[in-house]
Amino acid sequence: MGAAALKYAFESCQMYKVHGQVLAYNERSIHYHLALRFQSEGILRAQHFDGFKYHDIHCFGLLADEWQKFQA
């Protein structure tokens, strides 16, 4: 589903970049972004408060030309 969404974003919508943010404890989502070839763009430290504690947020980005390289 992620690959289909990226195809739509880059081909149909002509987007230049897609970005995502993931809570640090969500390791499955972090690995999913990396599997889709997103690049790590940094960490927002203690950015999200869930009512009990603060959590880091991992930032990811994927550029259209980076995505295109893996579509062959």
Paired with 20 in beta bridges are 60
Mean pLDDT of the chain: 95
Residue-wise pLDDT tens digits, 40-57: 999 999 999 999 999 999
Q: How many CB atoms lie within 10 A of CB 27?
A: 11
Q: How would residue 1 be classed by pLDDT, with cut points 50, 70 and 90?
A: confident
Q: Which of 29, 34, 28, 25 is nearest to 54 (CA)?
A: 25
Domain carrying residue 33: 2-69
Q: What is the CATH number of the domain that holds 63?
A: 3.40.630.30
Encode burial over 32-67: b for 16+ CB neighbours within 10 A, e otherwise: ebeebebeeeeeeeeeeeeeeeebebbbbebbeeeb
Number of structural domains found in the chain = 1
Helix (H, G, I), strand (E, B) or coil at 12: helix
